[in-house]
A = this chain, B = another copy of it.
Amino acid sequence: MIGRLNSLIKKTQAPICVGLDPTLNNIPPAVLEKAFAQRGKTLEAAASAVWEYNKTIIDSIYDLIPAVKPQSAMYEQFGIPGLEVFKKTIDYCHEKGLVVIGDVKRGDIGSTSAAYAAAHLGKVALQESFISPFDEDFATVNPYLGSDGIKPFLDVCAKEGKGIFVLVKTSNPSSGEFQDKLVDGRPLYELVADKVNEWGADLMEDGYSEVGAVVGATYPEVGKAMRKLMPRTCLLVPGYGAQGGKAEDIKDYFNEDGLGVIVNSSRGIIAAWKKDAYVKYGADAYGDASRQAVIDMIEDLKTAWKR
């Protein structure tokens, strides 16, 4: 799947994924009001508003980008109807030719991790039938439980031609509380990076590994070091835009071939209609605002990318 992601990045010239992280605050009021009027103040109503919002945004931007990253928390908060929309969003993005990174940050051990891997990337066996429950292309995974938690995902990646992104150094202010702690003089996230190399060694496609790493845009020096430490790893980079990361900050995250990075923006794209720069579109044309925000992000990143 990393080969497919890289070829879409080259085709679109956009090392970008759009975080489909709907919150009711960011859905234009008219969309919300219609849903609540039709279905009452219910989870079904909220989920139907999320679906209309997602679909409009996807329709507005799918030709510009290689990938999207739906965040499972934002769907789980609307219960079963929310998760139905999570699945519907994944399927619709696939119809539109997008790579789907399920931002699920799952992590457990043994048969439990295998169940998560089957749920999100693989198939569940019902006697002789095999069904893909959610069917993302990549999933984000938490490393705290060690290799026991990751290996079941690797098995599914090998079988299904899919990939994972392991949390290495996250973009948030408190990420250093544990991730930066020095172990024999090296920060913990470097030990995790070593494991990312090891876990991905047998899962290479066109020179890149199916095992990627999450490295925030907000710690540029760390990103530069991670690039060197994991040369064949795609870095999934949150923290651009709303969290403060700039194109300049991530220029050293890229490899010489222009690959090795996929920068995420969530609010900066899907809630563009609320930002000063795009408010002229008006709330009803939120899809157009999102499209322009993607175009602007691509231009902005070119300053980092085309060295």
Contacts and interface: CB of A to CB of B under 8 A. Distances in A.
Contact of A78 (B108, B111, B133): B133
Interface residues of A, number: 71
Query: What copy number does this chain have within its complex?
Result: 2
A88 to B, nearest CB: 10
Given A115-B73, A131-B43, A145 B174 contact: yes
Nearest to A131: B43
A46 B184 CA distance: 48
Contacts of A147: 174, 177
Contacts of A128: 41
B144 A77 contact: no
Contacts of A41: 126-129, 131
26 contacts: A23-B115, A42-B126, A43-B124, A43-B133, A46-B124, A76-B115, A76-B119, A77-B115, A77-B116, A78-B124, A78-B133, A79-B124, A79-B134, A80-B83, A82-B133, A107-B142, A109-B171, A110-B172, A142-B142, A143-B144, A143-B178, A144-B167, A145-B167, A147-B174, A181-B183, A188-B188
Given A79-B124, A145-B170, 8 more contacts: A43-B126, A73-B106, A73-B119, A76-B133, A78-B124, A142-B142, A147-B174, A177-B195
Interface of A: 21, 23-24, 36, 41-43, 45-46, 71, 73-74, 76-80, 82-84, 87, 105-113, 115-116, 118-120, 124-129, 131, 133-134, 142-149, 167, 170-179, 181-184, 188, 191-192, 195
